[in-house]
Each structure stands twice: as structure tokens, then as C-alpha cells.
Amino acid sequence: MKVMCVFGTRPEGIKMAPIVKAIKKRPELECVVCITAQHREMLDQVLNLFNIVPDYDLNIFKPGQSLTEITTRAIKGLEEVITKEKPDVLLVQGDTTTVFAGALAAFYQKVKIGHVEAGLRSGNLYSPYPEEANRKLTGVLSDFHFAPTERNRQNLLKEDYPDEKIFITGNTVIDALQYTVKDDYIFHIDSLNNIDYKNRRVLLLTSHRRENIGTPMENIFSAVADIVKKYEDVEVVFPMHLNPKVREVAYRILGDNSRIHLIEPLDYEPFTNLIARCHLVVTDSGGLQEEAPTLGKPVLVVREETERPEGVEAGTAKLVGTKYEPIYNNLDLLLSNEIEFDKMAKAINPYGDGKASERIVEILLKNS
Ligand code: UD1
Ligand code: UDP
């Protein structure tokens, strides 16, 4: 049985890597890896870490390209690869434009599709944008829905997907985390080694969502900048997404404080070990909402909606929106009130046991 894994961005790479490894362990399966390279450097970092050499690299990356350009160039490239390889199943992971393009390209050639991380819903088609739509569109085309949690399964049942096509597997991000987080990890980056993690409270910041670019991102960064002014023992590390629209706002609002470290995107290994060492996380990222609760770090989610309510329900994550005041006030509360902080700083893991990839492989073998 030939399984083609298609991915294009950093988070898909991180979450697909354990599946590629699990497929390659099984002699009954042939694994073909095709990357669209919707991301370039940020995806290459992941490929290097997990030692994955793609069989096909569509190399579609162009700075600043539109959603339509990404979609059309990915579909066109994938058409050729699928025609040549004729896989039995094509796997896509998550909610990016590569995911939807991969599913559509496979559907056009009547190749079965497995959707990894299926069934997440925010309920708002424009938030996250365009990810909520990508998930729904991919769901319609898929034969296997690999849902991380029971809630994700329920979301799919509500949309009338047949129960026998939905499989609860956990999220493969936990498989990836187990591969990288180590108690005795030493950073090889000066800016991270020079931080005094014992006597400083390190706030890890990431922000990149399309719907946050503009005023919401200005609000997020201004609240963080003002909190750093108030608390002298707080340092911020922001490994900035490569999108120039994010960087411009970051440099403008956060650029001029020696306790705010604006650094390049980190490899996954140092990044996850930085989560493990930080005090709290402020983010609009999807993946971080899964990783931080797993590592027992409070997360302030700077978005209006989340398709990952499990962390919020468990009390480790708080959805604080994108307006200045709630972000500032929630940061202020967590930094000044130990009881409130301790309530959130607990390790919970609704997202899996690190065996999601093996489960996905077993399901493919049993059902094909
Ligand atoms: C994409 C996904 C988003 C996912 C995010 C993860 C879509 C529409 N969006 O958003 O769902 O959460 O990836 O990070 O699929 N850039 C580089 N080098 C890189 C990567 C990006 O320079 O390696 C810059 C380019 O200027 C590029 C811009 O970032 O145009 C945006 O990249 P794009 O893939 O269009 O969207 P993301 O915001 O990264
Ligand atoms: N990440 C990383 N280096 C960084 C920032 C993030 O390896 O500098 C990882 C993070 O651990 C998570 C994933 O990238 O697994 C999240 O990617 P991103 O926030 O870009 O996308 P999203 O999850 O929001 O789709």
C-alpha cells in the first residue's frame, strides 16, 4: 500500500513527521513524501530536525503570494506527482491552504484522502481565516477523518459525517513533543542561553494569524510592551514569524526594550524546550495551544475564537481576544497573583498520549 504524505508549512511538517516515521517502520507500507513548500526556511528547519528528505519538492514558495496563487500552484504541482505515483491514500494534516489543495488534487484523481487533525471547528468561517474553511472543505473530500479528541469527533457527527469514517487518534503534536523536549536540554543560541531563567519570568510570545495582522497585532504587542515596563523581572522572547507584515509591527512596537528579545524563528527542538522553561505563553498559534498545556504553561490565547477549546475548558488556556485592555489585564493578573497563576499552571493533556501516528497507520492498514 502506497501512502503519500503531503505538507507545506512548519506546523504541518511538525505534525506529519511522526506519521512519516511510523509509516516508514512498516514494511507493508510504502511512503512517498511530497512537500509543496508553501513555507521555505520555516519548513526546511523541520525537515532537517526530523531527517526527512522529501521525494518531491514542489518549491511553490514566493514571498507575499496570495491565497489563490498558493492554491493554484500547489494543485498544479500535485496533479503531476499524483498521476505519476498513483498512491492508494493521500494524507494531509491540519488546515492550511496546502491541506485543502492536497485534498482537492487527490479528489480529482479519485485517490482516497486521510485528514489528520480533523473535526476542529471555531464556528466562524472568518476566524481563523482561511483555516476554518480549509478544514471544512477538506472534510467534505476525505475518506478517513483522524480526529484528535472526542469533541472533534462530535463536531464531525454534527455535520453528518458517518461514524465509521471517524477515528479518534490523539494529536500527533504530542508524538513530536515527546521526541524533542528533554530535561537536560542545552540551547545552542546565545540569546537564549544568556537569559537568567531562575530569576526572570520569561514570557514567550508568538503571533502570525492573518486575521490579527493590523490593529489586533498592534494591540497585542502594545499590551506586552507595557507589561514589560511595569514588571522589571519580566523578559519576553518572540521568535518572529518570517512574514514581513508581522515583523514590521513587532520592530515598531517591541523593538526598543532590552528585555524584549525579537529573534528569528527557532528550530522545533529549541522552541519546545523554551516553552518548557518559560513562565507563560501569549500566542495566536494553533499548535502552541496544544503544546503549552501539555507542558504545564498558562497560555493567553490572543484570538477572538478558538477551535481548540479543550485547553480553555481544562483551565490552562484563556481566550483573551485581541483588544488591548483584556490582554494587559490578564497578563497583569497572572504576573501579580500567584493563586491565579497556579490555577492555570497545570499540565493537562487532552490531546493525546504520543501514539497518534501509530494509531493512524494501524487504521490505514485495517481499512484499506
Ligand atoms: C500559513 C498558513 C497558516 C498557518 C501558518 C503556520 C495558510 C493560508 N496559512 O500562514 O494556516 O498557521 O502558515 O505558520 O495556509 N514566509 C517566509 N518564509 C517562510 C514562510 C513564510 O518568508 O518559510 C513569509 C513570506 O513572506 C510569506 C509570508 O511569510 O508570503 C506568509 O506565508 P503564508 O504561507 O502565505 O502564510 P502564513 O501566515 O505563514
Ligand atoms: N514553532 C517552532 N519555532 C518557532 C515558533 C513555533 O518550531 O519559532 C512551532 C511550535 O512549537 C508549533 C508550530 O511551530 O508546533 C506552530 O506553528 P505556527 O504557530 O506557525 O502555526 P499554527 O500552529 O498556528 O498553524
DSSP 34-47: EE--SSSHHHHHHH
Nearest CA to ligand 1 atom 17: 242
Q: How remote is the CA of residue 292 from the centroid of ligand 1, in Å?
A: 22
Active-site residue, 303 included:
no
Sheet containing 56-57: order of strands = 56-57, 30-35, 2-7, 89-93, 112-116, 144-147, 166-168
Residue 190, pLDDT score: 86
CA distances from 143 to 5, 112, 138, 162, 257 (A): 15, 6, 10, 10, 51
Residue 95, pLDDT score: 98
Give yes or no for residue 272 CB within 6 A of ligand 2. Answer: yes
Residue 177, pLDDT above cutoff 90: yes
d(CA 59, CA 78): 11
d(CA 351, CA 184): 25
For residue 270, say if its preceding peptide bond is cis, omega within 30 degrees of 0. Answer: no
DSSP state of 165: G
Span 199-217, mean pLDDT?
97
The candidate with the shortest Cα–Cα distance to 151, out of 313, 348, 353, is: 313
pLDDT-derived band at 2, boundaries 50, 70, 90: very high
Instruction: Give me the chain's average pLDDT, please.
Output: 96
pLDDT-derived band at 222, boundaries 50, 70, 90: very high
Give yes or no for residue 41 CB within 6 A of ligand 1. Answer: yes
Give yes or no for residue 62 CB within 6 A of ligand 1. Answer: no
Active-site residue, 208 included:
yes
Residue 183, pLDDT above cutoff 90: no
